[in-house]
Chain A
Amino acid sequence: MITEIEIEGFKSLEKVHLKLGKLNLFVGANASGKSNFLEALRVLQGIGYGFKINEVLNGKPKSATSEVWEGIRGGSRYATFSARSKPGLEAEREIKLSTVLKVGDSQHQYSVSIFKNGIRSEALDREERTVPSTLAFSFLGQIPQSPLFQVHEKVKRALSNMQKIDFDMATLRAYSQDSVAQRIGERGENFAALISKILMEERLKKAYLSWLSQLTPMELEDVTVLPGALGEPLFALKEGDNVLPAPILSDGTLRFAAITAAFFQMDMPDIIKIEEIENGIHPSRLRLLVELLKSQSGGTGPQVFATTHSPVVLAWLEESDYKTTFFCRRDEETGASIIKPLSEIPRLVELVKNQSLGELFTEGWMEAAF
């Protein structure tokens, strides 16, 4: 879990420092910096995989050891922050990403500096203090037997174990290639295969079906998979005697079913990222989505980063969630994104006693509040 992050010079994030929780929501207008924040996490994930910086930023084709890696939007050309008032002046600026991570019981600090032609990373074990200074790492960190090398590898493993949820409806509606899967793909690959795995455990199956039953007004009797010619599975729901295969289910039902399944993965990623969580889901059911994210990211669940434009999602947050619900806006002069937790917006907590947080967001109150 990333407990703290500092981003400097990346896209619209000139300098952002955030303390994070298990569920982190990013709200704000279009182009306010929400997606750029998630892309910064993607950069860390790519570095965690051990890709070269050019590959991380611009993409990488499928290889014998890795799947296709999509670069960040705009690639390396638009990766660095450039102030509106001084366009081009900072094109050579370095990008710095610093994180504090909790891996198991230990805490580590991990920093990456990205230059035009490469990266330099530093890892520190915060508790064991095995590193006297960051300078030591550049030498000791190269030796596989050294504790420093192991810390470095541990941190990189944790960062790479990140999953972006960007489901494609056609993929969710298709047969899975595998008959059983421990994890769903970022585009929804192996959705039905993961469901096959969930259905094998009665307790998980009941819980999964229960989420779906809350979503739909129909009398949902069961969740199942239909076998194809070669036994490959297709997701389906049962309503009475009717079997409803994935191709005829609504986008919203299917998307919710897949997002829910992501929290039932046997091979659970450390971090799940979801953009615009409300997409395709009826406003009256967004309460359920908020509950899903809050309950399943708690305890031993994955850390979640999600963006939203929905005032309804905000209306279902509690005051205790405000510390890790971040409002994003752009500074008019520099174009830099300013990201602040709701708990630090003056007067907000007082105002929401009498007015819905969603209304304040819709009115644009937060834009001018800090």
Chain B
Amino acid sequence: MRDTTLETQLRLLILQTESWKKLHDFITYALDKSKPIISAEQEHQFTEIRSILLQEIGHAFKELDLVAELSGKAMNVLQRASSVRGVRELSGEETRRLESDWNAVFTRVGVVQGQLKARRRELLRRSALRQIFLRIFGRKATVR
């Protein structure tokens, strides 16, 4: 049996992780001075990802009960990283803060995702055991 709330939370986390990864790809690109060209298309894609994150972090963090912990850090990242060009022009200190905040958000999201996956696995295993009991005794059995 699948827990629908758990599945929804996992879906939200996977989507969040994907978006934060994509944002990081752009930040890494922007900070790599050996790649001089920043195209309009890249800026467009970067704005798209920012827009998605800005819309979704409130809802996603609320669903996952992470608002107090991550909301501030996530907003710091999104405000500092206003564009690919903007990231390239950040000072050394600001870059460090940006990376540190991104890392804090990404790490926490990753940890929660792992915990939820473990919980799902546990639930699935428990259901399988219940099925075995049902087959053996031919009636409903509760396994705690």
Q: Check if A and B associate.
A: no
Residues on B lying within 8 angstroms of A by beta carbon are none
